[in-house]
Amino acid sequence: MRIATLAAFATLALAVPAQADCLGDIKDVLNRSMASGPYAMSIDSPELKMTSNVVPPDGFHSTIETGVLDGKAWSNMAGQGWTAMPEAVAAQITATVLDVAAMNDQIKAPECLGNQNVDGRDLKAFKYEMSMMGVDSTNQLFVDPATGLPAIIETKATIGGQTNETKAVYRYDPAITISPPAL
């Protein structure tokens, strides 16, 4: 009986640091992505097709025609032309899209999955759950082992009772720039 109890405590003692280390690894990857320099991210799924150019820490432009730069935001809804959005909207978009610290606080149930081959690439794999702004998601983060940066994030999100799956693919490129649109 004592051996079984000791074995159970040993298993718990070994599992907790591994989970804590895994959470730290996930947060480190996400934080590093915001200091990595410019990158492009594309999502292609039945629910969402989007390409974004991101210049951390505070600029991005998306093909969904919403952009933020230096605290200002613009929108081009249905191709009607660019219009400036209120600064409060720009702040909310920035907080939602670029606030890695807020995302880090929402990471739950982290798992280190080891190395996996994804799209012909050997990548470090992690899994975690997150709940932000009423959206619950399960995420798989695939990291380039050479750079320690996100390569792919697959997300299964539940929004309004419907589940959507997206796959974001990252490409890092210092030549990516963002400038305000001509109004």
For residue range 146-156, list pLDDT tens digits in order. Answer: 999 999 999 88
Rounded Cα gap, residues 11 and 8, in angstroms: 5
Residue 97: the pLDDT is 62
What is the model's pLDDT at position 64? 60
Q: What is the pLDDT of residues 39-70, one digit of tens each?
A: 888 776 655 567 788 888 777 777 664 555 67
Distance CA 124, CA 144 (A): 7
What mean pLDDT do residues 100-106 have?
76
Tell me the average pLDDT across 120-136. 89
Q: Which domains does the chain have, with CATH numbers?
A: 2-172 (2.50.20.20)
CA angle 123, 126, 130 (to 5 degrees): 140
Q: How far is CA 130 from the centre of its chain?
A: 10
Q: Average pLDDT of the chain?
A: 75
Q: How confident is the model at residue 122 (pLDDT cuts 50, 70, 90)?
A: very high
Write out pLDDT tens, residues 9-35. Answer: 222 233 333 455 889 998 888 888 878
